[in-house]
Amino acid sequence: MRKTGKHFALLCALFLLTAVITLTGCAGSAAKKDKATIGIIQIVEHPSLNTIRESLLAELEAGGYKDGENITVDYQNAQGDPSNLKAISQKFVANKYDAIIAIATPSAQAVVGETKEIPVIFSACTDPVGSGLVKSLEAPGGNVTGTSDAVSAEKIMSLALQLTPEIKTVGALYNAGETNSVSVINDLKGFAAANGLAVVEATVANTSEVQQAVTSLAGKVDAIFIPIDNTVASAMPVVAQAAIKAKVPVYVGADSMVADGGLATYGINYVSLGKETAKMVIQVLEGKKPGDIPVLTIEDVEIYINEKTAQELGVEIPEEIKAQAKML
């Protein structure tokens, strides 16, 4: 009997010891929370969005947050399909990730529609207020903040008139479902009205409509203007080919579309934008509320020109413009 009692006491002590070790172990890791989970949602694959994502991940790593080590990153691409955007957003929210990074406006709109709690850091959203992502750029409030690539239609069109002064009618090619494009097109219309230019619009709902739209538009205009539109950017090589064939210059909203055959832009650097977005993500991971971080608009713009396209169109680039431009 006494022997059994001794055994029992020993067992009890062992059990208690294990329980204490397990509990303190758990409490320790919960307090440190050394493996944050981050969802990245991207509307579609196009060069600019990929650049942003890669730059962002590199900057997170430089800041001490490495995927697979102390953070887990779940990257999902919606392949241009709005129903995928919704499904991915819902999955991220159900998984209770610590933060969600949304690349481009359609992705950000989908995520913001699914959560008021999980921190959302959007990236490269042209018009965050007009797109309903935040109420104010200076004080977003709530669970959302991010970076903007707002561009100036006026600046791009002034460059257009310097390079190809004979423009009387400008064609606007974009997806009317992308609020990031709509606001820039409104600026374009304002510029056109003030400068005696006519605007002809051609809208597309998806990339498969781009070829037909650009071909018919090129027959009616002296130049084509494309805002920072994800749908058109995904089909940019097709646009460039059709426009060069029709000898119509294409002015675009982003450097990647110049690299893909557009003639020129006055645009921002998306590597910097990716870095700035990562810095916000780090602030959020370290406890800052997204609503207390102002939206950052990248102000530095540069001229980008595609030299090959210029040659094919027979457009002379004045030396003083060439000297300040990035020739792609």
DSSP summary character for residue 249: -
The binder of ligand TRP chosen from 42, 55, 105, 145 (CB under 6 A): 105
Amino acid at 45: E
149 makes contact with ligand TRP (CB under 6 A)? yes
The binder of ligand TRP chosen from 39, 41, 42, 48 (CB under 6 A): 48
Say if residue 280 is exposed, middle or buried (CB neighbours under 10 Å; 0-12, 13-18, 19+): buried
Give DSSP secondary structure letters for 24-52: HHHHHHHHH---EEEEEEES---HHHHHH
From 61-69, 71-79, 120-128, 137-145, span contacting ligand TRP (CB under 6 A): 120-128
Min dist CB 96 to ligand TRP, Å, is: 26
Q: Which is nearer to ligand TRP, 151 or 284 (CB)?
A: 151
55 makes contact with ligand TRP (CB under 6 A)? no
- The token duo for 298 is 């990248």
3-state SS, residue 289: coil
Min dist CB 229 to ligand TRP, Å, is: 6
173 makes contact with ligand TRP (CB under 6 A)? no
Site for ligand TRP in 226-265 (CB under 6 A): 228-230, 233, 254, 256-257
Q: What is the dihedral of CA 289, 295, 301, 306, to 10 degrees?
A: 80
State how far the alpha carbon of 112 is from the alpha carbons of 94, 120, 129, in Å.
14, 7, 13
Residues found near ligand TRP in the complex (CB under 6 A)? 48-49, 104-105, 124-126, 149, 180, 228-230, 233, 254, 256-257, 270
